[in-house]
Structure 1
Amino acid sequence: MKKQSIVIAGGGSTYTPGIVMMLLDNLDKFPIATLKLYDNDPERQGVLAKALELVLKEKAPDIAFSYTTDPREAFENIDFCMAHIRTGQYRMRELDEKIPLKYGVLGQETCGPGGIAYGMRSIGDMIELIDYMEKYSPNAWMLNYSNPAAIVAEACRVLRPKAKVINMCDMPVGTLRRMSQIIHKEPKELTVNYFGLNHFGWWTSVRDTEGHEYLSEIREYVAEHGYLTQIEVDTQHMDQSWQETHKKAKDLLAVAPEFLPNTYLKYYLYPDYVVEHANPEYTRANEVMAGREKQVFDAARKIVATGSFREGDFHIDNHALFIVDLARAIAFNTGERMLLIVENNGAIANFRADAMVEVPCIVGSSGPEPLCQGTIPTFHRGMMEQQVAVEKLIVEAWVEGSYQKMWQALTLSKTVPSAKVAKELLDELIEVNREFWPELH
């Protein structure tokens, strides 16, 4: 197998060590010649990179490792860019979550006004990364798992329609792992059908390798317990706020009991519940900064201070194993079946062709080939039509610098109660995002 050359864009992310550990744990399936980190924040990236340099010296000294803030150095001679950037970092995420709550609207990283604000910040930086890759390594692929993935994917479709970019999300993978615990199977034994938008979809089938269908069995469990399981199946989604989200799935199922819901639908079906249970002084951003952010950077500083890596300092990011599967599928034409965000073009038969939908795809060296999911019911289609219109208006607002379309996007969002509240929110979001958003007029 050819050894691959990779750049991780967002080298200063708290997820970077887990991704690197996961890559190192899978070198037999996906060998690596060169691994580079790229970030526009040299200080933040440097803390993690110095620690990871020691990790690679101990665990995989044959891999050429480097880190940089220079685009040419980062993107030259690569096969893959794995992108997980956060424009504005956690200080802006905190505002995304806290500003809407002042108006009685939910504050969330990827959904509602917070997600819209984050999306407007992300578009320019994502397009910049794509352009770097196409300039310095035109044959490379970008595997993008930067949030908010739905808005980023729509921006890629509009602004760089021919770019070799695959947008994806780990959330369905994490939930499938919980389903596998419910029915006492391994996730790799299960094949799913699914339709929706990113953070906005439903499972219509969960089958094992022998063709046995588990949808009804899982549905009965979720109707009583949500996706809560007795076994800790990942490290990312175990905080109390996530546990409440997993539990709330039983109420999502009650609204539309035919299919198994993505947990993020709670923000659209029960926004009042989310607001009632939110603490405006301490949101998920604060939880992450006090938790994963502190843990990862403390571990990095400890590794550098001691000059050596011990197992457990950085944890393997098992939930992100799908990144290796996706890269392998492209590099070695494996025909892996995966849930990805792609242009619809008939994958959902009775839904608009130009929507960026999340559906099962077969992935090979030419990229993803969506699998047809047939027609979907009126309720699900109606919700999706509303949400995809929001996402399209956001990208149009970014491209055109249109205040009007941003106001329309916020007004149309199911999380915002009125055009009046939408305008008040928009005006405050513009003020705090002036260094990141294009000027709206």
Structure 2
Amino acid sequence: MKAYSIVIAGGGSTFTPGIVLMLLEHMDRFPIRQIKMYDNDAQRQQTVAEACGIYLKEHAPQIAFCYTTDPETAFTDVDFVMAHIRVGKYAMREKDEKIPLKYGVLGQETCGPGGMAYGMRSIGGVLEILDYMEKYSPEAWMLNYSNPAAIVAEATRRLRPHSRILNICDMPVDLEEKMARMCGLDSRKEMVVRYFGLNHFGWWTSIRRKSDGSDLMPQIREHMKKNGYMDGIPPQEHAETSWAETFEMARDVYALDPDTIPNTYLKYYLYPDRAVRHSNPDYTRANEVMDGREKTVFSECRRIIEAGSSANCNFQADAHASYIVDLAEALAHNTQQRMLLIVPNGGAIENFDPDAMVEIPCLVGSNGYEKICQGRIPTFQKGLMEQQVAVEKLVVDAWCEHSYQKLWQAMTLSKTVWSADVAKQILDDMIVANKDYWPELH
């Protein structure tokens, strides 16, 4: 079986060690000959990469390993680019979240004004990596799970329409694992799902047991009605209160349409006032991450480097990230795996914009993907999606045209913002905060 060369773009991410361990756990079905790491922040990447290098030397010495800030070194001789970049890092995420909250608007990483600000930073970074890949390894595939995936996917559709990039998100994977547990199954892979929407903005319409085709929706609906995505664990026992609230609040999102099972992020659009009330404007999710995972991962990296050994390592394989290997394996070995991807609609949702980037099930093989048609969608979801996809398109318009007007329109149109005046105030603050990252708007 052929062994593959991979570059992890975003090598300095706190998720990178978990990705490396996850890749090693699946070597039986996706052999690896080389792992590279690439990041434009040399110092940050060095800490993560040196620790991962020690782990690889001790656990998989046959795998060649290097890390670099040089694009030619990173992207030459690779089969897959696994991209999870965060332009501006957590310092800018903190601003994305706190600036809207100053005006009583929710502050969130991928939703509302914060998501638009992040998108304006991410577009250029993702396009840059895609261009490096096409220059140095034109036969490679880029598996992009950089946020905000919806805006990034619209930008790559429009600006790099023939590129070998697949946009994918881990949130549905996580929620499907929770649904599998609701039904007493060991894995989401025991289910066959139908789903439609935009990224972080979608609904499951059918969930069946793969082995016999039996309908699992009644059981899942009953659980959602009582508990949302909570699985019987009291909220206070969850490590991160913000996520516990999100999983529990899915019960109220579900109540709006009990025929479908919703993505958790819909709470930000359907109950934005409640999201604001439950937010601390001085300590947001970015602060939680910086004080939690960020410190924990970098502390462990430094400990491994100082010891020169990964013995008693506290890194954990990012188990649910195995969807990345599923995608790579499907492309490499033509498995025709059924996966949720973010793709141009093109009629897959019959009564929706053909140019919209929608999230739907696809069959993935060596030639890319084939969309599984979802038919017509109900008026409620269609109306919400039309508003949100217009926001995403306007953000990409703003980036391409350097247009203040288009970004103001995008923020005004978002269901999370109730006034054009408020949208303008947030935008003006965002421009100042992002002066080193956004194109100059006029």
Q: TM-score, normalised by structure 1?
A: 0.98
Q: Which residue of structure 2 lines up, in the alignment, with residue 363 of structure 1?
A: 364
Q: Deviations over 1:111-138 (max 9, x none)?
A: 0000000000000111110100000000
**d(CA) in 1 for partners of 2:313 and 2:177?**
22
Shift in Å at residue 230 of structure 1? 3.6
Q: Which amino acid in the other structure matches residue 349 of structure 1?
A: E
Q: Which residue of structure 1 lines up, in the alignment, with residue 195 of structure 2?
A: 194
Q: Which amino acid in the other structure matches residue 347 of structure 2?
A: G
**d(CA) in 2 for partners of 1:129 and 1:156?**
11
Alignment of 1:127-276 (within 5 A): 127-186=127-186, 187-209=188-210, 210-230=212-232, 239-276=240-277
**d(CA) in 1 for partners of 2:280 and 2:201?**
24
Quick check: 1:303–1:313 contact (8 Å CA) kept in 2?
no
Q: Which residue of structure 2 lines up, in the alignment, with residue 116 of structure 1?
A: 116
Quick check: 2:304–2:313 contact (8 Å CA) kept in 1?
no
Q: Which residue of structure 1 lines up, in the alignment, with residue 323 of structure 2?
A: 322
**d(CA) in 2 for partners of 1:103 and 1:168?**
32
Give the gaps of 5 or more residues in structure 1. none
SS of equivalent to 1:347: coil
**d(CA) in 2 for partners of 1:230 and 1:415?**
30
Give the gaps of 5 or more residues in structure 2. none
Shift in Å at residue 429 of structure 1? 0.3
Q: Which residue of structure 2 lines up, in the alignment, with residue 95 of structure 1?
A: 95
**d(CA) in 2 for partners of 1:371 and 1:53?**
40
**d(CA) in 1 for partners of 2:196 and 2:239?**
25
Structure 1 position 289 matched with structure 2 position 290:
yes
Percent sequence identity is: 63
**d(CA) in 2 for partners of 1:22 and 1:206?**
27
Distance 1:305 1:278, change over 3 A: same
Shift in Å at residue 231 of structure 1? 6.8
**d(CA) in 2 for partners of 1:48 and 1:265?**
34
**d(CA) in 2 for partners of 1:312 and 1:260?**
38
**d(CA) in 2 for partners of 1:56 and 1:326?**
23
Q: Which amino acid in the other structure matches residue 282 of structure 2?
A: E
Shift in Å at residue 94 of structure 1? 0.2
Length, aligned pairs only: 438
Q: Which amino acid in the other structure matches residue 326 of structure 1?
A: L
Q: Which residue of structure 2 lines up, in the alignment, with residue 348 of structure 1?
A: 349
**d(CA) in 1 for partners of 2:241 and 2:320?**
18
Q: Which amino acid in the other structure matches residue 80 of structure 1?
A: F
Shift in Å at residue 312 of structure 1? 4.5
Quick check: 2:345–2:358 contact (8 Å CA) kept in 1?
yes
**d(CA) in 1 for partners of 2:313 and 2:11?**
20
Structure 1 position 383 matched with structure 2 position 384:
yes
SS of equivalent to 1:253: helix
Q: TM-score, normalised by structure 2?
A: 0.98
Q: Deviations over 1:137-160 (max 9, x none)?
A: 000000000000000000000110
Shift in Å at residue 292 of structure 1? 0.7
Q: Deviations over 1:168-195 (max 9, x none)?
A: 0000000001001111012111111000
Shift in Å at residue 238 of structure 1? 5.1
Quick check: 1:12–1:48 contact (8 Å CA) kept in 2?
yes
**d(CA) in 1 for partners of 2:354 and 2:259?**
24
Q: Deviations over 1:200-249 (max 9, x none)?
A: 000001111210111121011101101001479xxxx9521101100001
Q: Deviations over 1:46-79 (max 9, x none)?
A: 0010100110011100000000000000000100
SS of equivalent to 1:362: strand
Q: CA RMSD in A?
A: 1.2
**d(CA) in 1 for partners of 2:239 and 2:336?**
32
Q: Which amino acid in the other structure matches residue 219 of structure 2?
A: E
SS of equivalent to 1:325: helix
Q: Which amino acid in the other structure matches residue 207 of structure 1?
A: R
Quick check: 1:181–1:231 contact (8 Å CA) kept in 2?
no
Shift in Å at residue 310 of structure 1? 2.9
